[in-house]
């Protein structure tokens, strides 16, 4: 039986062919209102469908924020399932932003929800939180590897509260963030052209203060509305900048609701990020 192509290889190809850009699908109430849509399932469906139709055939990845769909219950999840399937059919990689983190059978169940090929919400990658211990993520890491999927583990987030945990020093002398990055580097050892086990590192950081050379992708939220610009990426990511997948949401989505305006905005963002990442 042929093994599936690893996520890292698929992501590298998508970034090289389509440009290094990940577009968030974040149907916030305020954004729905800006688009003239109701804060209801109908508005959610129109919003998600428009973003996918406009962009999934041209950007490297889309990143649905699950919480904004979950708040509508089963009908919201149905919209999310359809958005995931349609985006993948159009050629975009789907990074499901759920930030799950638990232990044992519960972690295995979360992994099955997003990383099992037979699951309705099967995605190309998922975001995970390692703060019950990196080892608690093992069910998700193993299932991702088996199914050619990937993970992005929270390492150095840009929210101020994150520093009290991520910058804390472990018994071995490294920061918690560096310990997570080192474990990811071990997961990716020997992978070519890129490992499938990535880290979330905020583009808004003044400096990383850590070794980001993990031979894997670096999901970098914060461009646009959160204050970071593509020109900040080389400063934050240094020699690892070519493996950065910059994520933009509100700064791009505010150009909706027309598909043409979204496409034009995405083209500008992709061109700008490519200038500074070398992808």
CA 207, CA 193: separation in Å to the nearest integer? 26
Q: Measuring CA to CA, how many Å separate 270 from each of 55, 142, 169, 206, 248?
A: 12, 32, 36, 23, 10
**Residue 33, token pair as written in the block:** 């209102």
Supply the residues annotated as catalytic: 99
CA 229, CA 78: separation in Å to the nearest integer? 34
Q: Measuring CA to CA, how many Å separate 86 from each of 79, 120, 198, 253, 259?
A: 11, 12, 24, 18, 16
Query: Can you list the alpha helix ranges (DSSP code H) found in the chain?
Result: 7-18, 29-34, 41-55, 67-70, 73-89, 104-115, 138-146, 163-166, 176-187, 233-237, 250-253, 259-277
Residues 6+ positions from 186 with CB-CB distance below 8 Å: none
- Of 135, 236, 245, nearest in space to 187 by CA: 135
């Amino acid at each position: 039986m042929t093994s599936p192509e690893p996520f890292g290889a698929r992501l590298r190809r998508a970034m090289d062919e389509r440009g290094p850009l990940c577009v968030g699908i974040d149907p916030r109430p305020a954004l729905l209102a800006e688009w003239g849509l109701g804060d209801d399932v109908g508005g959610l469906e129109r919003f998600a469908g428009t973003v996918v139709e406009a962009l999934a055939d041209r950007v490297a990845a889309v990143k649905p924020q699950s919480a904004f769909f979950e708040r509508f219950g089963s009908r919201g999840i149905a919209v999310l399932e359809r958005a995931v399937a349609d985006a993948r059919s159009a050629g975009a990689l789907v990074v499901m932003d759920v930030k799950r983190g638990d232990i044992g059978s519960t972690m295995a169940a979360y992994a099955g929800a997003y990383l099992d090929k037979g699951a309705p919400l099967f995605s190309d990658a998922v975001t995970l939180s390692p703060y019950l211990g990196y080892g608690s993520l093992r069910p998700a890491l193993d299932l991702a590897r088996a199914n050619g999927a990937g993970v992005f583990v929270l390492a150095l987030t840009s929210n101020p509260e994150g520093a009290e945990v991520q910058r804390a020093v472990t018994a071995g002398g490294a920061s918690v963030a560096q310990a997570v990055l080192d474990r990811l580097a071990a997961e990716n050892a020997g992978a070519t052209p890129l490992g499938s086990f990535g880290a979330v590192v905020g583009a808004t950081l003044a400096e990383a203060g850590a070794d980001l050379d993990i031979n894997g992708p670096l999901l970098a939220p914060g461009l646009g509305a959160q204050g970071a610009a593509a020109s900040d990426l080389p400063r934050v990511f240094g020699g690892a900048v070519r493996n950065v997948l910059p994520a933009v949401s509100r700064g791009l989505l505010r150009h909706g609701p027309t598909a043409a305006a979204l496409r034009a905005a995405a083209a500008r963002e992709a061109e700008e990020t490519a200038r500074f990442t070398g992808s």
